[in-house]
Amino acid sequence: MHQPPPFHPESVYQHPGAALPQVLAAPSRYIQGAGVLDQLGTYLGLVPARRVALLITAGGERREGLRIKRSLDAAGIESRVVSFGGECSFAEIERGVVAIRSQPLAVDCLVAVGGGKCIDAGKGIAFRLGLPMVSCPSLASNDAPCSGLSVIYTPAGVTELLEFYPQNPVLVVVDTQVVAEAPVRYLVSGMGDALATWYEARTCLQNPAGRSMLGARPTLAAAALGELCANTLFADGVAAAKAVYERQVTPALEHVIEANTLLSGVGFESGGLAGAHAVAQGLTVLPQLHATYMHGEMVATGLLTQLVLESRLEEAKRVAGFCAAVGLPAHYGQLSLKVSNRDDMMAAMMGATAMAFLQNEPFPVTANMLMEAAVAADELGRAVVAEVGDEAYRRLHHQR
């Protein structure tokens, strides 16, 4: 079966002896609003698409299938449903490729409707079939919808690798009413992932050797999106979580959905990652974390560790205060980890040092340095929680 060769962004942008260029990658169009899924057919005319494969889980199809079908029918777009099994693995991507190739409808676009894994699998399928890809996220918990890369997991759910693509999704359609009706922990976790964007992009920008996810230098634009993302969360994060508890689309929720999806998505890919995501990925080697906590929750703790590592203690306090206010983990205890458990902590920090983007920090970072920063971040976070309380965290995690 014909497959395109794997895409390596560094082979495009990195040339010996030549200066590294600044590169910005983004979707061609981003559409966000309450009820926009009802206009999906009209928006697909922008691609333009006439015959689409719809990648969606069985549950997603039950919830949103009918309205999507109506909208596509009204626009005269033919569609075939390809059911998504739940894991973004090479096996699942291959299954999708085969399902689309073996049906009589010659599709000209792939539309993925669902969470981050469904969208990431959609990107892998679209790349292999040479199709434009459209993201319709049903959650604001992750950076998948706008980026041109996928996190590939083993069928058992452990991170395997990042796969890069030459194009970002051509269109991103975010129905904020759908996001408002999802469990609030997804939105809050997305805030943890999004908040780190600015601090990681700044580290990459300020380090002349820093590189974005594109293997290039960050643009000022990407860093500015990251900074706006953080400021938006500080201003509207608490109100947005409240809106989702009440299943209401409010201006604060709209702002935070944009921060979690667009500002963070473009900001991280073109701005670059650093210590926060290295620690978050390192933590996934601990099976108890990987099964119980969401990506953004681990990133929040990773961010605190990064800020302590960089000796930015005032910012770390502000971030810990924000985490406590919205219900993100503000210390390692809120990820069910004891920093005194050296074996677990060291395994996670060794995992973190294996992440290439840890090298975006302005000095070489060892597992011992991360360990020390984690212990200090834990102490700082506990002090902040002792001051402001842990009510938001307990409400989110159903503890009394």
Residue 310 interacts with Zn ion (CB under 5 A)?
A: no
Stretch that binds Zn ion, among 124-132, 193-201, 330-338, 351-359 (CB under 5 A): 193-201
Stretch that binds Zn ion, among 192-200, 242-250, 320-328, 330-338 (CB under 5 A): 192-200
DSSP labels for 147-164? -SEEEEE-TTS-EEEEEE
Residue 120 interacts with Zn ion (CB under 5 A)?
A: no
Q: Of 32 and 147, which has the nearer Cβ to Zn ion?
A: 147
- Strand, helix or coil for residue 108: coil
Q: Of 300 and 339, which has the nearer Cβ to Zn ion?
A: 300
Stretch that binds Zn ion, among 43-51, 186-194, 253-261, 334-342 (CB under 5 A): 186-194
Distance CA 308, CA 2 (A): 48
Q: Do residues 336 and 289 lie in contact, with contact meaning Cβ atoms separated by under 8 Å?
A: yes
Distance CA 326, CA 269 (A): 25
Residue 193 interacts with Zn ion (CB under 5 A)?
A: yes
Stretch that binds Zn ion, among 131-139, 181-189, 191-199, 314-322 (CB under 5 A): 191-199
Stretch that binds Zn ion, among 54-62, 187-195, 230-238, 285-293 (CB under 5 A): 187-195
Q: Of 193 and 297, which has the nearer Cβ to Zn ion?
A: 193
Q: State the Cα torsion 152-155-160-166 to the nearest 10°.
A: -20
Q: Of 194 and 370, which has the nearer Cβ to Zn ion?
A: 194
Q: Side-chain half-sphere of 118: how many Cα atoms within 13 Å?
A: 26
Q: How many CB atoms lie within 10 A of CB 83?
A: 15
Q: How far is the CB of 273 from Zn ion (least distance, A)?
A: 8
Q: Of 43 and 186, which has the nearer Cβ to Zn ion?
A: 186
Q: Of 303 and 349, which has the nearer Cβ to Zn ion?
A: 303
Q: How far is the CB of 328 from Zn ion (least distance, A)?
A: 13
Which residues are CB-contacts of 280 (< 8 A; sequence separation ≥ 6)? Answer: 295, 298, 299, 301, 302
Count of positions (residues) in the chain: 400
Q: Do residues 275 and 358 lie in contact, with contact meaning Cβ atoms separated by under 8 Å?
A: yes
Q: What is the DSSP letter of 359?
A: G
Q: Of 149 and 216, which has the nearer Cβ to Zn ion?
A: 149
Q: How many residues lie near Zn ion (CB under 5 A)?
A: 1
**Contacts (CB under 5 A) with Zn ion, residues 250-269:** none
Residue 236 interacts with Zn ion (CB under 5 A)?
A: no
By Cβ distance, which residue is nearest to Zn ion?
Answer: 193
Q: How far is the CB of 294 from Zn ion (least distance, A)?
A: 10
- CA-to-CA dists, residue 126 to 107, 132, 137, 165, 218, angstroms: 11, 6, 16, 10, 27
Q: How far is the CB of 210 from Zn ion (least distance, A)?
A: 17
Q: Which amino acid is at 276?
A: A
Which residues are CB-contacts of 387 (< 8 A; sequence separation ≥ 6)? Answer: none
Q: Of 189 and 353, which has the nearer Cβ to Zn ion?
A: 189
| Residues forming beta bridges with residue 54, ordered by sequence position | 81, 111
Residue 200 interacts with Zn ion (CB under 5 A)?
A: no
Stretch that binds Zn ion, among 68-76, 185-193, 306-314, 356-364 (CB under 5 A): 185-193
Note the residues at the interface with Zn ion (CB under 5 A).
193
